[in-house]
């Protein structure tokens, strides 16, 4: 089976069909119809074997994550995703691997009505780069830069699960839960869109909360203070790692793909009324402040974190 | 220098500034303003070290080619390129390498008014994936599928130079010319746009004319006949490889990034009047025919080519 047969069999109908794709996979480029009155939102994220996922990871997970990390960028902008391109570099064509990869990618794509409109399949070390495109009404995007001192800081879901799950092989109890949180993260697409009227700034937590909240604060020309005690951690992570380590993972572990967002105090009531925290599963865990930098406060004292987030070229 | 400093210093101002980029590099995604009445045209192409370019290639060439191969896809659609995203996977950060890479990428980008609006820098084996976006007035795109039997086949520029130049180290005379043709291909952006009223079908020659003309013909539900005698080859390739080998390279060598296009006989006069071949440097070298498959005719006889084009997973 060569590259072209592979594309026909597994990629052509992998994503959702959409009426705004006059020409999809198969020509030199795709033709796409952008809706009037909206901005196109575009991002790219790459997963490299041995760096972003362990060698030998299940292909369904690699396909799911490659799209999920990009959908998460759409969520962080408050955007509605629409189209994806896939640049897949593979050491060799193993049909079973490709079938499972496209199953993982395709199920998530169809669930979010995302069409796979093009791509490139090349030979080389396993690397998956997805380019995602979506829309947002002009002026409504959630930027990192809209925060200001006094804004309250919120996190969706729980943090630290994926970092704990990264190297878990077991499939029992809380270990299975944590493993799945790494392998099949759920991008917060709907929450991101609903946050448009309420959030002053937003970022997705891909590299660890301390680092990513720090980036949001820096883009907003301020600093951030995170509360140790209110960090949202799952009961599975608490059972697996104990409270101390669970909270450290919540602060510094990557790959959660939850949303970290800021809300002006005057919008808090509207947020809680229209997007009840109990229903939407987010937690208030700090605030922006004038003093630059990202700090964690525990029982009123600033904690020392030398390890702040994840630098892809770090040690 | 970490990932974030690198992006600030070398990538932020690498491409052309454009008024239709309300938000470029630096947030979770870029915001882009699509022109009304046009389709968005999107494609992705990846270069892997050791597969698409020799290990140790000049970084300027890698940067140039990574964008050029994508611009060539825009040219093949008749599209006007606008924005690019860059997924760059690097074994380590070497500032000099990155500086030279962005010089090669940036010079070509600015020449074609392309803005680098986002990207992702990751650690791993050297892989460069570029996603390009451009525009075309609705209904005017050059597809592979518009040809029909009797259409005349044309090629821009000359073929085979890049394949000959791939492994040349010398910098003298025709060898230098061929080497540069591999290292710094010129995408036929302007020609592609001007061909909109005349070409019935178009593809760019990335994997070898025989294979790519065959793809155009197959998409057009017909076959193609290529004339051996009229294949456009450069005097430098003739001097380097001799006539026989030069024409074989023209048929089967990849990486030329010239345009292969079909024109209905009744449009020939208008094409020659409005885009004189002498000025635009294209050559008629065959025609589409009803019988499927791609064949080469030499002195009236069909030649045998077992090696038809370039399959990335082939031997």
Contact A28 B89 (CB under 8 A): no
**A236-286 pLDDT, tens per residue?**
999 999 999 999 999 999 999 999 999 999 999 999 999 999 999 999 999
Q: Residue A51: its chain B contacts at CB < 8 A?
A: 122-124
Predicted complex ipTM exceeds 0.85: yes
Q: Residue A53: its chain B contacts at CB < 8 A?
A: none
Give the mean pLDDT of chain A: 94
CA proximity to A114, closest of A14, A10, A12: A14
Burial class of residue A16, CB neighbours in 10 A (0-12, 13-18, 19+): middle
Once rounded to an integer, what is the mean pLDDT over residues A119-127? 94
Burial class of residue B36, CB neighbours in 10 A (0-12, 13-18, 19+): exposed
The residue behind tokens 């076959």 is B223
Shortest Cα–Cα distance, B89 to chain A (Å): 8
Of residues A314 and A169, the one with the higher pLDDT is A169
What's this model's pTM, rounded to 2 decimal places? Answer: 0.94
Q: Residue A77: its chain B contacts at CB < 8 A?
A: 27-29, 31
Distance (Å) of CA B7 to CA A23, A216, B102, B187: 33, 17, 10, 26
Would you tell me how many other CB atoms lie within 10 Å of the CB of residue B75?
32
Model confidence at A308: pLDDT above 90: no
User: C-alpha angle with apex B164: B159 to B169, nearest 5 degrees?
Assistant: 140
Burial A137-175 (b: 16+ CB within 10 A, else e): eeeebbbbebbbeebbbbbbbbbbbbbbbbebeeeeebb
Report the pLDDT value the prediction gives residue A311, as an integer from 0 to 100.
45
Contact B31 A41 (CB under 8 A): yes
Distance CA A48, CA A136 (A): 29
Contact A46 B87 (CB under 8 A): yes
Which residue in chain B is spatially nearest to A2 when comparing CA positions?
Answer: B313
Phi, psi (degrees; rounded to nearest 5) at B37: 80, 5
Report the pLDDT value the prediction gives residue A310, as an integer from 0 to 100.
45
Task: State the pLDDT confidence band at A89, using cuts at 50, 70 and 90.
Answer: very high
Q: What percent of chain B has pLDDT over 90?
A: 90
Q: Residue B32: its chain A contacts at CB < 8 A?
A: 39-42
A-B CB pairs within 8 A amount to 214
Of A41, A93, A120, the CB nearest to B44: A120
Distance CA A186, CA A61 (A): 12
Distance (Å) of CA B275 to CA B132, B194, B281: 27, 8, 9
CB-based contact B254:B207 (threshold 8 Å): yes
Which residue in chain B is spatially nearest to A33 when comparing CA positions?
Answer: B39
Q: Residue A83: its chain B contacts at CB < 8 A?
A: 42
Give the mean pLDDT of chain B: 94
CB-based contact A117:A83 (threshold 8 Å): yes
Which residues does residue B84 pair with via DSSP β-bridges, in sequence order?
B116, B132
CB-based contact A309:A208 (threshold 8 Å): yes
Residue B192: enclosing H or E segment and its boundaries?
helix B189-194
Distance CA B55, CA B51 (A): 9
Distance CA A126, CA A254 (A): 21
Structure-token pair, residue A30: 């795709």
Model confidence at B313: pLDDT above 60: no
Distance CA B219, CA A208 (A): 47
Q: What share of residues in chain B are helix, strand, coil (percent, to 5)?
A: 35, 30, 35
Distance CA B40, CA B140 (A): 12
Pairing between strand B223-227 and B258-263?
unpaired
Of B73, B133, B314, the CB nearest to A28: B73
Report the pLDDT value the prediction gives residue A314, as an integer from 0 to 100.
40
Distance CA B180, CA B191 (A): 21
Distance (Å) of CA B255 to CA B52, B69, B108, B173, B186: 9, 8, 17, 21, 11
**B22-77 pLDDT, tens per residue?**
999 999 999 999 999 999 999 999 999 999 999 999 999 999 999 999 999 999 99
Structure-token pair, residue B150: 């009797």
Of A39, A122, A313, the CB nearest to B48: A122
Q: Residue A4: its chain B contacts at CB < 8 A?
A: 311
Contact B87 A85 (CB under 8 A): no
Phi, psi (degrees; rounded to nearest 5) at A295: -130, 155
Q: Residue B119: its chain A contacts at CB < 8 A?
A: 44
Residues A285, A315, A52, A180, Cα dihedral to 10°: -50
Structure-token pair, residue B119: 């990207």
Of B33, B48, B145, the CB nearest to A123: B48
Task: State the pLDDT confidence band at B310, using cuts at 50, 70 and 90.
Answer: very low
**B123-142 pLDDT, tens per residue?**
999 999 999 999 999 999 99
Model confidence at A315: pLDDT above 70: no
Contact A314 B127 (CB under 8 A): no
Which residues does residue A198 pair with via DSSP β-bridges, in sequence order?
none
Distance CA A212, CA B215 (A): 46
User: Given CA atoms A205, B46, A5, B40 in this order, what sign does their dihedral have?
Assistant: positive
Would you tell me how many other CB atoms lie within 10 Å of the CB of residue A300?
5
Shortest Cα–Cα distance, B256 to chain A (Å): 15
Which residue in chain A is spatially nearest to B314 when comparing CA positions?
Answer: A2
Which residues does residue A25 pair with via DSSP β-bridges, in sequence order?
A27
User: Given CA atoms A25, A31, A33, A37 in this order, what sign does their dihedral have?
Assistant: positive
Contact A42 B127 (CB under 8 A): no
Long-range contact set of residues A162-171: C-beta below 8 Å, sequence gap at least 24: A162/A253, A162/A254, A162/A255, A162/A256, A162/A257, A163/A208, A163/A249, A163/A252, A163/A253, A163/A254, A163/A255, A163/A256, A164/A237, A164/A240, A164/A241, A164/A246, A164/A249, A164/A253, A166/A54, A166/A255, A167/A54
Contact A29 B76 (CB under 8 A): yes
Burial class of residue B46, CB neighbours in 10 A (0-12, 13-18, 19+): buried
Shortest Cα–Cα distance, B13 to chain A (Å): 17
Distance CA B31, CA A34 (A): 13
Which residue in chain B is spatially nearest to A73 when comparing CA positions?
Answer: B28
Contact A41 B30 (CB under 8 A): yes
Q: How many CA atoms lie within 13 A of A205 on its CB side?
A: 31
Which residues does residue A131 pair with via DSSP β-bridges, in sequence order?
A44, A85
Contact B42 A26 (CB under 8 A): no
């Amino acid at each position: 089976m060569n590259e072209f047969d592979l594309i026909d069999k597994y990629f052509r109908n992998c994503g959702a069909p959409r009426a705004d794709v006059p020409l999809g996979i198969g020509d030199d480029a795709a033709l796409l119809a952008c809706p009037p009155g909206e901005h196109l939102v575009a991002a790219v994220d790459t997963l490299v074997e041995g760096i972003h996922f362990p060698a030998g990871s299940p292909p369904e997970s690699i396909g799911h994550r490659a799209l999920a990390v990009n959908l998460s960028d759409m969520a962080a902008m408050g955007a509605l995703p629409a189209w994806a391109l896939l640049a897949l570099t593979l050491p060799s064509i193993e049909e079973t691997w490709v079938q499972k990869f496209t199953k993982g990618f395709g199920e998530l794509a169809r669930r979010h009505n995302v069409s796979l409109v093009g791509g490139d399949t090349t030979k080389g070390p396993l690397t998956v780069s997805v380019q995602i495109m979506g829309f947002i009404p002009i002026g409504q995007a959630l930027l990192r830069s809209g925060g200001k001192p006094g804004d309250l800081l919120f996190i969706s879901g729980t943090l630290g699960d994926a970092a704990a799950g990264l190297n878990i092989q077991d499939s029992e109890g809380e270990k299975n839960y944590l493993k799945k949180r790494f392998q099949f993260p759920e991008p917060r697409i709907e929450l991101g869109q609903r946050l448009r009227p309420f959030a002053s700034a937003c970022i997705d937590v891909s590299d660890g909360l301390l680092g990513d909240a720090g980036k949001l604060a820096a883009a907003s020309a301020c600093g951030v203070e995170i509360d140790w005690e209110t960090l949202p951690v799952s009961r599975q992570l608490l059972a697996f790692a104990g409270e101390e380590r669970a909270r450290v993972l919540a602060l510094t572990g990557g790959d959660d793909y939850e949303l970290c967002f800021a809300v002006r105090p005057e919008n808090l009531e509207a947020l809680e009324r229209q997007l009840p925290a109990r229903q939407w599963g987010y937690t208030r865990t700090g605030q922006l402040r004038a003093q630059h930098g990202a700090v964690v406060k525990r029982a009123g004292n600033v904690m020392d974190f030398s390890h702040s987030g994840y630098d892809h070229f770090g040690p």
